[in-house]
Structure 1
Amino acid sequence: MKSLRFDAYKSSPELVETGRPVPGPGEVLLKVAGAGACHSDVAVFTEFDEEFGPAQLRPSFTLGHETSGWVEELGAGVSGFEKGDAYLVYGPTGCGHCRACSRGQDTYCENAATMPYLAIGLGRDGGMAEYVTVPARNLVPLGDADPVAAAPLADAGLTPYHAVKKSLPKLAGGGTYALVIGLGGLGQLAVQIISALTGATVIATDSNPAAMERAATNGALTVDSGPDQAEQIRALTGGRGVDAVFDLVGIAPTIELAMKVVALQGRVTVVGIGNGSYDWNFYGVPYEVELTSTYWGTVEELHEVVDLYRAGKITPQVELFSLDEAPLAYEKLIAGELAGRAVVSPAR
């Protein structure tokens, strides 16, 4: 079968022929419906090397940590799945027996340092292939929902959902405001998730007019990235500031913007892994402001994300590519030429 492999640091992934995987005990073989292309993948093959980056992400492996597919074959000891049924894959893969993993929080696995990989598609062969093996506990049923369009929900949906859920106390009640900085695939879903879970007024900002237009169609008030950006955002809140800010970029200027517009006792969550820094000062921000980060989410939360998707509350915007076009999907991602989340669909 064909697979898109990360085989060497500082080089682009390549399509190669690999053997069809065989599901081991407790695993399910999926025929891949869709696999999302993520900026995290780009960091792996452009920024990491022997000295920088997690040891679990050393080459080589098949990319694709946002995956959906149809059940093809069951490994030993697996039951309760029917061939042809559609599932979304929970990517994080911890040890399975520590306290965090027992709660479905594989992203916080206490034994992560001893694991041979971080996730399906991040160290372990992922979904940029015709078939992929997955632990049965990592499968979330999609029912009759479109599995191809659902693929990005495994990360681009789950990551902002987790961040929004953690911030819900700040958005409870009437008259609250939320700000989304960065309106790529995660940011667009964050706008929809906030609207689905809260009554907050959503403000969204980006330098891309087309991205802001899409956010506006989902009910957000938009602010461009001009020199008076912070003043405009504060004006929309009546000068009080934003109760919960979600920075989907994570570079120094966006973190600084978030801290300029956050309200007294507000919360800023840096979701984007832009490696930005912020010089905090006690008198430089309103009192009791929380500045925090987040990482992916739990398998239970992915079930909740799928519930929203099946109910029509959130809809990822996707741009489809065949498996042969997978390298092109990453080229367009790097060049900023995508209108939605790139999804590689081997059946296309």
Structure 2
Amino acid sequence: MAETMRAYRMSGWGDAPGATAVPVPRPGPGQVLVRVAGCGLCRSDLTMRRMPRAIGERLGWAMPFTLGHETAGRIAALGAGVDGLAEGDPVALVATGSCGTCRFCVRGLDNSCPRGSAGRGYGLDGGLADYVLAGRRGLLPLGGLDPRHAGPLTDAGATAYHAVRRSLPRIVPGGTAVVLGAGGLGAFAVQFLRLLTAARVVAVDPSQDRRAYAESVGAHHALSGVDENTADRLRALTGGLGADAVLDFVGTDATIAAGLASVRPAGAYGLVGSAGGRLTAPWFGTLPKDGEVYTFQGSTIADAQEVIALAAAGLIRNEVEEFGFDGVDEAYTRLAAGGLTGRAVVVLER
């Protein structure tokens, strides 16, 4: 095994990330070294280069660190005390950090773990490198799935799955579920809504290509991007009643306002997108009467396991566009410009 490896890293607060060479890590007791096959890119990566030092350090982040939290690969070496795995096994790495012992983790709510503010690719070394370390708890067997493309299932897929699962009690057969933003997460949400509900699914996105893809994976309707008429258009589709659930994978002022205005009484609005939008309207007449408004970050290990199982069964599509390690900057540029239909994946397996 080589002594050094390629890595795409944040070097300092406010600095642009870049490629460099770093030592290959060695697994300690309870750790596993994974040779990365592919690592997905996420819009949250773009915000990390603007992270103020005070906030980052409060979250437990330390510079420098390697980006990449949608990672899959093959086991390269096992530390002492790790069993049930063998070198060469294909695995995906859980995207969110968690301790496994707190009151949230033991109830299966590991995405709410208070120690989860720092994890692989956000404050700790992630998967945009030839190798990455993980604890046994953070590894998910992939079976026959291609580890070059499986990384997005652990974050984009699992986060969308968590959003849909939260909304299920509010969605009635024959009702309507709306997905605002049909990019990497939203396209997964469309598929999960079709699998898990008997609702009509509406995707809303400014990109014609993403609207077409949303329809190809099951959306009954696809509307152009959010504007001042979006709520009226969605209510027209529901006979004036409104949607059972609106899942917002964008999170701007406009999508928050339009999403809430589109929810029927006793419906649900889920805010997943992290664009930093605000709601300034008074709650009365704005929030859904007797409804539910929720937000969260990341997903649980159980969510990721279930998404991987759905993918292995051929029940969902995981659309990716491959980039080489030398194309990381290009991939992030296209991601920032909204020029991708599926998920950008940097393939490192040689």
**TM-score normalised by the shorter chain: which range applies?**
over 0.9
Say which SS state the counterpart of residue 327 (structure 1) adopts: helix
| Number of residue pairs the alignment of both structures matches | 342
Residue ranges of structure 2 left out of the alignment (5+ in a row) = none
Structure 2 counterpart of 1:48, which letter?
A: M
State how 1:76-225 maps to structure 2 within 5 Å. Answer: 76-110=80-114, 112=115, 118-172=118-172, 174-220=173-219, 221-225=221-225
CA distance in 2, matches of 1:346, 1:2: 9
| 1:320 maps to amino acid | E
Q: 2: CA distance between counterparts of 1:166 and 1:338?
A: 27
Once residues 138 and 91 of structure 1 are traced to their aligned partners in structure 2, the CA distance between those partners, rounded to angstroms, is 8
- Deviation string 1:50-70 (CA, Å, 9 cap, x unpaired) is 234444234210111110011
Q: 2:340 aligns to what?
A: 338
For residue 42 of structure 1, report the CA deviation from its aligned partner. 0.8
Query: Which residue of the other structure, out of 46, 51, 55, is the alignment partner of 1:42?
Result: 46
Q: Give the whole-Å Cα distance in 2 for the aligned partners of 1:9 and 1:315.
A: 37
- Asked if the contact 2:217–2:317 (Cα under 8 Å) also holds between the matched residues in 1, the reply is no
Other structure's SS at 1:211 match: helix
Q: If the length of structure 2 is used for normalisation, what is the TM-score?
A: 0.93
Gaps of 5+ in 1: none
TM-score, normalised to structure 1's length? 0.94
Could you say what secondary structure the match of 2:72 adopts? strand
Alpha carbons 2:104, 2:112 under 8 Å: kept: yes
Match of 2:6 in 1: 2
| Distance in 1 (alpha carbons) for counterparts of 2:249 and 2:85 | 36
Higher deviation after alignment, 321-330 or 23-32: 321-330
Q: Is the CA contact 1:13–1:327 (under 8 Å) kept in the aligned structure 2?
A: no
Which residue type is aligned with residue 44 of structure 1? M
TM superposition outliers: structure 1 runs of 4+ over 4 Å = none
Cα distance between partner residues in 1 of 2:196 and 2:148:
24
Code of the residue aligned with 2:54 in structure 1: it is E
Tell me what 1:245 maps to. 246
CA offsets, 1:228-272, max 9 Å, x none? 322221121122110011000011110101111101110000000
Letter in 2 for 1:316: N
For residues 202 and 28 of structure 1, do their structure 2 counterparts lie closer, same or farther at Cα, with a shift above 3 Å needed? Answer: same
State yes or no: 1:319 paired with 2:321: yes
Q: Tell me which residue corresponds to 2:30.
A: 26
Alignment partner of 1:57: what SS?
coil
1:196 to partner: Cα distance: 1.4
Distance in 2 of aligned mates of 1:194 and 1:180 = 10
Take 1:324 and 1:184, find their aligned partners in 2: how far apart are those partners?
24
Three-state SS of the structure 2 residue aligned to 1:309 is: helix
Shift of 1:303: 0.7
Cα distance in 2, alignment partners of residues 212 and 61 from structure 1? 35
CA distance in 2, matches of 1:227, 1:105: 37
* Equivalent position amino acid for 1:34 in 2: G
Cα RMSD after superposing both structures: 1.6
Residue 202 of structure 1 deviates from its aligned partner by 0.4
Instruction: Within 5 Å, give how 1:248-327 maps onto structure 2.
Output: 248-278=249-279, 279-327=281-329
